[in-house]
Every structure is written in structure tokens, then in C-alpha cells.
Amino acid sequence: MNLPNILTVFRVLLAPFMVWIIINPQFFTENGFHESWVAYFAGLIFVIASVTDFFDGFIAREWNQSSELGGILDPLADKMLIVGAFLALLTIGKISIWAVYIILIRELFISGLRITAISKGIDVSASWSGKVKTVTQMFAIGFLLMDWIFATELLWLSVFFTVYSGIEYIVNFSKHK
């Protein structure tokens, strides 16, 4: 286990904890916390987990600590965090079911495509649009958790980049096939 993998495992552990906080605000409010603090706490957990996503990749590249385990765990941890947050937000009624549906379908399809590509020796590193997709999804989740202005618009912008990057993956896979 190297540091990037430890950060990834930490993200895997934070994801269900964040989901639980989002869908169980009454645990906190019944114990004297204002409901806004529940959002802040869930947001803090999400930000910490999101920052580990950046640092695990950065450290793996800069310190030459990339590993096969990290290559498998990192995308899984990302999906657990992002999809978990979107499903929790759907559960509490803060997000459109259509946005979640589009994001889930893309994630499932591209995950299957990535597995196929890896088995055929095709490079599946994240493209710029995939990175933009991830960043806009993370910002959308943060804005939705905090009930900030333009949260819904940011969500739909992230849906656009989700679809765009999915199409880009399909086109690139088709070129290599």
C-alpha cells in the first residue's frame, strides 16, 4: 500500500459516511444541531474526499507510485463518491431524477467500455472533457448540498459534460478498435 492507494481507500470509506449524513439529517437535528450544520458537515466530508481524488493522482504521477490496484480502486472510489452523493441528493429531493439517470447511465456504460478497452490494451486515461466532467459534477454536488444559487444550472452543466465526455470516450474507443 502506497500513499496514493491509502488516499483512495480513505475516499472509499468517506463516501458511504457522507451519503449517510445527507440522508439522515434528523440524527443531527434531534441532537441539537441546526439543519444548516448538517449540510456543512456533509459538504466538508465531500470536499475532503474530493481533495483526496486530486492528491492521489498527483502523488502517484509525481512520485512514480502508480499501481494496478490504484488503477482499479481510483475510478471505483470516484464513482462511489459522485454517484453516492447524487443518489443521496435525489433521496432528499434536491436533484432531478433525469439528471441522476443520465449520469448513472453514462457512468455504467463508460465503466463497461473502460473494462473492455483495458482488456484489449487500449489506453483509457481520462481526457480533458472527463476531468471537466468530474470537476463540474463535484461543484454541482457542493452547490446542491449548500443550497447555493445556480446549483441547478451547475448540475445541468455537469450533465452536459457527462454526456459530452461519454461520447468522446465512445469515439476514441471506436478509433482504437
The cell for 173 is 474507443
Residue-wise pLDDT tens digits, 55-105: 998 898 899 988 888 888 888 899 999 999 999 999 999 999 999 999 999
Entry pTM: 0.91
Poorest-pLDDT segment among 80-89, 127-136, 155-164: 127-136
> What DSSP line would sit under 105-137, residue for residue?
HHHHHHHHHHHHHHHTT------HHHHHHHHHH
Cβ(46)–Cβ(1) below 8 Å: no
Annotate 26-40 with DSSP letters as a single string: HHHHTTT--HHHHHH
